[in-house]
Amino acid sequence: MFCFRSHALGSLSIVKNSFSINKVYQNTKVSLRMSSASATSSSPPKWELRSAMCLERTPIILPPMTKIEQEMTEIIEKLDTARSLKSDHELRQDEDKKLLQMITDGTQEENNPDAATRQTSQDFEDACNEELQKFKPASRITAEDLSGDRKSTNRKLDKHLLFIVQEKKEDKKVWKLPESRWKDGETLRETAERALKECVKIPDTSVRVLGNAPWGVQTIKYPTSVRQKLGFEGVKVFFFKAQLLSACHTCLDTEHNWLGREELTECLEPEYLRSVKKFLIDED
Amino acid sequence: MNKLLRVRESFILSSRMITTNTYFPSFLQVSTPLLAEPMKKKKKMDPQILKAREERKKKRIEKSIKKLEKNVKQLKPIEEIDLTINLQKEKLARQRAKIDEESLLNKRQDILKTWCTFKYQQHLLERKMIDRIWSSQSEALKQLAVISEELYIGAIQVDSLLLPFSAVGPTSTPPLHDYEVLDGEYFDETPKLK
């Protein structure tokens, strides 16, 4: 379960192996040239490389507290007040109480001219409460939540929302993360950014891509007929993760949705969903 | 002109000599100041010696200042450090009455225990999640390394724009649209120099 350390060591071994892989790769290249007529069983399989961008709208508000969390906050508040010293406001309250008592006992009459004009602590508290009542914070459940508008990001504010695009393939409408094919001369991250640019107006929306390394991979093997036709063993889709930093302006012709985790299970294909869910953050 | 010596002359013109002086025969009158020693002449001091004296005085004063400053640099031992009298008085004034509630203690203990297990479970789930994400990434990098070395090296480059990473955390309510942020109360304390 706690294979954190072993994975760290594993990544180190990958770095070490990269140099040996280079040599292996060169050897196979040489062997290919030498035996061009022979079968391609010794050569490494060729994969079509694609890069997909997983754009997420991170939560804007906190999730509601569970029962145990509420109880704990109450306890902590009580302990903190018990261990603290009195504030100026509380000292004023004590003074006011004393004055009141004196007046009721009759020891001190209201000969103090300032007493009438003095703002008691109670007045101050009432004024503060009034001001608080006037302020209305925004509601946690938005209009889009109630209407179920899947195209807007102003929905499910305490959850993550994933950007999904519809792809029309042979009369089949498939929901996918925006992806595009890798071109020569660019890194996979750049491919992913290009894929996103086709769906979202990039200079208007600010997006933060989290690193140069892919977060996940999905292998789709072609059937043998397609394999021979295209020359590729299959497709390898590398996923890159990004965070939405501003409001999203999508291009007009993209059919898109912003889905929460439960809605993903409805829309995405199961194999695809499995690869994607591996690198997404858990939610209750 | 200091004329301490007064001489009365009587002109002896006539046979009848009328004088009222009593200071026979010199007719000299002496006033009290003359009984003192005459003033000593002010000797001009050597300016170098005067300077040397002043410098010595300065040095003495500077030495004493240095000694006092040494004391200030030395830190007071912790045992001697105390609150200023103002703060001590305030502390006394602001004491709260202690409330001993035996019945609440048991309830508190139960909640703390459940909190402990709750947080531990939360931590386990987080560790699981981190492991899962890490394994997904390392698998992707492994497969990429097999496919192409260039792309692999491109993928393991450090993204200088990403670090230092900062994110604004979630709040308890979403931000209000078109909310005018009011200035707080402030007191202008700029010093007026005349």
DSSP B151-180: HHHHHTS--TTT-S---PPPBSSPPPTTPP
A7 inside 8 A of chain B by CB: yes
If you average pLDDT over residues A58-68, what whole number do you get? Answer: 94
Please give the Cα distance from B192 to B194 (Å, whole number): 6
Is residue B34 predicted with pLDDT exceeding 70? no
Please give the Cα distance from B7 to B176 (Å, whole number): 113
Nearest CA in chain A to B150: A187
Tell me if B148 is assigned to some domain.
Answer: yes
Q: Taking CB atoms and an 8 Å cutoff, what residues of chain A touch B132?
A: 278-279
- Cβ neighbours, 10 Å, residue A242: 19
Are A242 and A207 spatial neighbours (Cβ–Cβ below 8 Å)?
Answer: yes
- Taking alpha carbons only, the member of A204, A175, A179, A201 closest to residue A189 is A179
Please give the Cα distance from B148 to B132 (Å, whole number): 25
Query: Which pair of structure tokens corresponds to residue B121?
Result: 């479970």
DSSP A212: S
Is residue B47 predicted with pLDDT exceeding 80? yes
Please give the Cα distance from B41 to B25 (Å, whole number): 34
Please give the Cα distance from A279 to A218 (Å, whole number): 12
Is residue A41 predicted with pLDDT exceeding 60? no
CB–CB contact A85 B130 (8 Å): no
Mean pLDDT of chain A: 82
Strands (E), chain A: 47-57, 161-169, 172-176, 179-181, 207-209, 216-221, 234-244, 256-259
Domain count, chain B: 2
* Contact residues, A window 87-126, toward B, CB-based 8 Å cutoff: 87, 90-91
Please give the Cα distance from A47 to A41 (Å, whole number): 15
* CATH H superfamily, domain A47-61+147-277: Nucleoside Triphosphate Pyrophosphohydrolase (3.90.79.10)
Tell me if B11 is assigned to some domain.
Answer: yes
User: pLDDT-derived band of residue A17, with 50, 70 and 90 as boundaries?
Assistant: very low
Pick from A9, A12, A60 the residue to mutate for testing the B interface (most B CBs within 10 Å): A60
* pLDDT tens-digit series, residues A23-36: 444 444 444 444 44
CB–CB contact B133 A279 (8 Å): yes
Measured between CA atoms, how close is B143 to chain A, in angstroms?
8
| Host domain of residue B29 | 1-33
Please give the Cα distance from A191 to A179 (Å, whole number): 8
* pLDDT tens-digit series, residues B157-194: 999 989 889 998 899 999 998 888 888 888 888 999 98
What pLDDT score was predicted for residue A196? 92
Nearest CA in chain B to A240: B137
Out of B134, B140, B172, the one facing A214 most closely (by C-beta) is B140
Tell me if B139 is assigned to some domain.
Answer: yes
CB–CB contact A75 B111 (8 Å): yes
- To 10 degrees, the CA torsion angle through B64, B68, B70, B72? -170
CB–CB contact A85 B96 (8 Å): yes
CB–CB contact A278 B155 (8 Å): no
Q: How far is CA A160 from its chain centroid?
A: 5
The answer to whether the pTM exceeds 0.80 is no
Out of B111, B137, B167, the one facing A279 most closely (by C-beta) is B137
Nearest CA in chain B to A140: B173
Beta-carbon contacts of residue B64 (< 8 Å; ≥ 6 apart): none
CA angle B173, B178, B182 (to 5 degrees): 85
B112 inside 8 A of chain A by CB: yes
Out of A59, A209, A214, the one facing B144 most closely (by C-beta) is A214
B171 inside 8 A of chain A by CB: yes
B172 inside 8 A of chain A by CB: yes
Nearest CA in chain A to B133: A279
B111 inside 8 A of chain A by CB: yes
Q: DSSP per residue over chain B, as a string?
A: -----EE------SSS------STTT-EE--GGGGSPPPPPPPPPPHHHHHHHHHHHHHHHHHHHHHHHHHHHSPPPGGG----HHHHHHHHHTPPPP---HHHHHHHHHHHHHHHHHHHHHHHHHHHHHHHHHHHHHHHHHHHHHH-HHHHHHHTS--TTT-S---PPPBSSPPPTTPPPPP------PPPP-
- To 10 degrees, the CA torsion angle through A175, A176, A181, A182? 180
CB–CB contact B98 A82 (8 Å): yes
Within 13 Å and on the Cβ side, how many CA atoms surround A149? Answer: 10
Out of B127, B133, B143, the one facing A217 most closely (by C-beta) is B143
Are A175 and A43 spatial neighbours (Cβ–Cβ below 8 Å)?
Answer: no
User: pLDDT-derived band of residue A170, with 50, 70 and 90 as boundaries?
Assistant: confident
* Contact residues, A window 185-224, toward B, CB-based 8 Å cutoff: 187-189, 208-217, 219
What pLDDT score was predicted for residue B24? 73
Tell me if B143 is assigned to some domain.
Answer: yes
Q: Specify the pairing of strand A47-57 against strand A234-244.
A: parallel
CB–CB contact B136 A216 (8 Å): yes
Is residue B59 predicted with pLDDT exceeding 80? yes
* pLDDT tens-digit series, residues A177-232: 999 999 988 999 999 999 999 888 877 788 999 999 999 999 999 888 888 888 88
Query: Which pair of structure tokens corresponds to residue A91?
Result: 């000292």
* Annotated domain spans of chain A: 47-61+147-277, 68-134
